[in-house]
């Protein structure tokens, strides 16, 4: 049997640096844990545009469809800010999500004990925080038609369409309920059913799937604006949150920032099972391409390494190995290793991206 | 000359209790500061539905169009949760906003010194916080057509439309720049121009208005997801934020919660100038109707009283009197007066809604 395959798309900015550390970790699992992967690499985002005039070449798209998992670094940078909408770095990422049909985006917001002081929130509000936001990722206002900027009378009009079908809502709801069963069995669904009909349908379908298939899971509904408040006020009240593409974008970023350490947060984007039973999957850190520090060895590789841990768990059914990797990272943090983004005011000295990678290998 | 007119719409839940305290304050200004108002009162929300079968009677709508300012308490409650979308309490509020064309919603997020400890954020992150979110309030996905739940094939599809015209963006941008000039001269505009064409138009128009009319104001642009993060991480970096209806709903609620005291936050919704030069205007607290504590004298009337202070400032050109009222509230808080929502863990005893109103009158 051949090894499972991984396509690495480092992307732009700090993407390549953090991905170099992930590669070390992947190799370690091959050598030490008998978990070898066939790794290939390609371009996405601004660097793909530079080479091919498109942020995602069709060949790359085809490869992504074939592999067992894609690992992505980050895309974008000021160099590309004035590109036409259709070829912006982000379009590469959005095309991957859409064509791989990665409808369920798992965004854990977890506060690491060693870093609880680092949050802008009070320690008791965030210490031990462990919530999972499931964001619908392939529909809603990100992809709905009609869209565009048109002329009407003598002015421009900007249009986007929020559109959700029953089955799109049902499948992401199921993925939230499944996950809740493996956690604390609680799902909170967020929308604006008081204002948007798409929110009414969202609420109804989530409730129907619950009642028919997951009556054992505790379900609540919350308006998304209140959700934003509650995340700031008392985030530990949540276990799993399920919400649409746009609300998920904003709420998961707010939740990520609660932990105070964006450089620590991974994500998984999962689709339907492939022929081999594995889900279509893309893993990426929550942080962006951070062009201001790119190429300086300052970036924190942990979010990207934790994204690989999520790959171990969700694509390769290696939950124990994922935990091993996560524990190694906790241990390194507990020992005080800090990249520049994790420094307090206490005059600590940071270690570099590759030193952090090495420290994690050592802890493994 | 007749007195300026105010229409009071207490609404549901705690609305009537907090509005009773506002009435005391209004009377005080009439008696002691020679600022008499003609006050009338009517129904909105669930109570209007109970009486008229609609959350806003046409007569009430007509009155709102005629007065100099509307003061609204809050709408909604569990009793009305299962009403049809078209007659839900919220529709009354949304109709007022739309038909009065109140396009500029001012939502201050201010941290009161005496309450800085009350935030879930660290004191140094929020102490002295004073930002103003300007939310577009009459367009975008709240009102765009087509909308609804339709049948397609054999499933339901929920649809809403985000739609912004150039002039809708321009007028709210102007109101943000005007306000910034009276504050710290900084505007940050938030959208998702990396994903939504309506966001591209938003960014372009805000920039154009800036360059043509307000080049002296410092303008920056931020993606709304990053905006949510930055509000949690370091809110004091902002002065005025301008954003669309839906992002504004969520971001202003997150910002409100930074202060830790939702019971403290007022809002103003302003439209175009009327014949007498005053803008169409509606003032309301940011908090909801809090049905769980309604009728118990536990509600904090300060947000609603501060909304009247905003009316003094923005409708009646009485900035000094507004400041007088705000200072009285600061003084009362500094003396330790606390309604139930403002209690720490220190075993303090709360005062009632009307005791808080009385304390403010006394401080005046
Ligand atoms: C880069 C951008 C298109 C993307 C999004 O809006 O989904 C990002 O913010 C994210 O959350 O992954
Ligand atoms: C009550 C509701 C319709 C309203 C909104 O979504 O605008 C509220 O959340 C607000 O922010 O004023």
In chain A, what percentage of residues exceed pLDDT 70?
99
Q: Annotated catalytic, B253?
A: yes
Averaged pLDDT of chain A: 96
* Chain A residues with CB-CB distance to B152 below 8 A: 165
Instruction: Quick: pLDDT tens for A196-241.
Output: 999 999 999 999 999 999 999 999 999 999 999 999 999 999 999 9
pLDDT for A163 beyond 90: yes
pLDDT on residue A112:
87
Domains of chain A: 1-112+261-364 (3.40.718.10), 130-258 (3.40.718.10)
Instruction: Quick: pLDDT tens for A21-68.
Output: 999 999 999 999 999 999 999 999 999 999 999 999 999 999 999 999
Q: Which residue of A141, A153, A160 to mutate against B (max B Cβ within 10 Å)?
A: A160
Q: Check: CB of residue A110 under 8 Å from CB of residue A132.
A: no
pLDDT on residue B313:
97
pLDDT for A348 beyond 80: no
Region A125-146: mean pLDDT is 97
Verify whether the Cβ–Cβ distance A120 to B224 is below 8 Å.
no
Report, as ranges of residue numbers, the positions in chain B whose pLDDT lies below 70: 1, 345-346
- The model's pTM: 0.96
pLDDT for A88 beyond 80: yes
* Chain A residues with CB-CB distance to B225 below 8 A: 249-250, 253
pLDDT on residue B112:
87
pLDDT for A307 beyond 90: yes
Instruction: Quick: pLDDT tens for B152-162.
Output: 999 999 999 99
Catalytic site residues of A? 142, 192, 225, 249, 253
Instruction: Spell out the residues 6+ positions from residue B304 whose beta carbon is closer than 8 angstroms to its own.
Output: B18, B19, B21, B22, B71, B73, B266, B284, B285
Residues with CB under 6 A from ligand 1: A 90, 93-94, 249; B 194-195, 225
The closest alpha carbon to A7, from A30, A23, A28, A18, belongs to: A23
pLDDT on residue A247:
98
pLDDT for A2 beyond 90: no
pLDDT on residue A1:
66
Instruction: Spell out the residues 6+ positions from residue B75 whose beta carbon is closer than 8 angstroms to its own.
Output: B11, B12, B15, B44, B45, B46, B55, B89, B90, B92, B93, B289
pLDDT on residue B223:
96
Query: Is A171 within any annotated ligand binding site?
Result: no
pLDDT on residue A345:
61
Query: Is B86 within any annotated ligand binding site?
Result: yes
pLDDT for A347 beyond 80: no
Query: Is B82 within any annotated ligand binding site?
Result: yes
Verify whether the Cβ–Cβ distance A196 to B94 is below 8 Å.
no
**Mutation test residue for ligand 2: of A192, A194, A196, the one with most atoms within 8 Å of CB:** A194
pLDDT on residue A346:
64
Q: Annotated catalytic, B239?
A: no
Instruction: Quick: pLDDT tens for A250-298.
Output: 999 999 999 888 889 999 999 999 999 999 999 999 999 999 999 999 9
Which tokens belong to A279?
A: 């889900």
Atom in ligand 2 nearest the alpha carbon of residue A223: 9
E strand or H helix at A349: none
**Mutation test residue for ligand 1: of A94, A143, A256, A303, the one with most atoms within 8 Å of CB:** A94
A249 Cα–ligand 1 center, Å: 7
Q: What is the DSSP string of A304-345?
A: HHHHHHHHHHHTS--HHHHHHHHHHHHHHHHTT---GGG--S
pLDDT on residue B1:
66
* Chain A residues with CB-CB distance to B78 below 8 A: none
Region A2-23: mean pLDDT is 97
E strand or H helix at A360: helix A353-363
């Amino acid at each position: 049997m051949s090894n499972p395959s991984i396509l690495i798309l480092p992307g732009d900015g700090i993407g390549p640096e953090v991905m170099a550390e992930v590669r070390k970790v992947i190799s370690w699992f091959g050598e030490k844990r008998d978990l070898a992967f066939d790794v290939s690499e390609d371009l996405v985002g601004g660097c793909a545009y530079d080479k091919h005039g498109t942020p995602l070449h069709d060949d790359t798209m085809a490869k992504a469809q074939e592999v067992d998992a894609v690992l992505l670094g980050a895309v974008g940078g000021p160099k590309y800010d004035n590109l036409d909408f259709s070829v912006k770095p982000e379009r590469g990422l959005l095309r991957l999500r859409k064509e791989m049909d990665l409808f369920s985006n798992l965004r854990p917001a977890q506060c690491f004990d060693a870093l609880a002081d680092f949050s802008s929130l009070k320690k008791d509000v965030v210490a031990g925080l462990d919530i999972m936001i499931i964001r619908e990722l392939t529909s809603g206002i990100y992809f709905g038609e009609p869209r565009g900027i048109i002329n009407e009378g003598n002015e421009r009009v900007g249009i986007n369409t929020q559109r959700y079908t029953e089955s799109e809502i049902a499948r992401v709801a199921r993925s939230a309920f499944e996950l809740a069963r493996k956690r604390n069995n609680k799902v909170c669904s967020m929308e604006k059913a008081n204002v948007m009909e798409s929110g009414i349908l969202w609420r109804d379908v989530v409730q129907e799937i619950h009642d028919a298939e997951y009556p054992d899971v505790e379900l609540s509904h919350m308006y998304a604006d209140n959700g934003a408040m509650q995340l700031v006020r008392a985030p530990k009240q949540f276990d799993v949150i399920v919400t649409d593409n746009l609300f998920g974008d904003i709420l998961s970023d707010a939740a990520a920032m609660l932990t105070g350490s964006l450089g620590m947060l991974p994500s998984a984007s999962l689709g339907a099972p492939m022929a081999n039973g594995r889900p279509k999957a893309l893993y990426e850190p929550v942080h962006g391409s951070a062009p201001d520090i790119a190429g300086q060895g300052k970036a924190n590789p942990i979010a990207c390494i934790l994204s690989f841990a999520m790959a171990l768990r969700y694509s390769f059914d290696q939950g124990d190995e994922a935990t091993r990797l996560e524990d190694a990272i906790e241990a390194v943090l507990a020992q005080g290793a800090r990249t520049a983004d994790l420094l307090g005011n206490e005059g600590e000295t940071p270690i570099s991206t590759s030193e952090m990678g090495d420290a994690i290998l050592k802890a493994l």
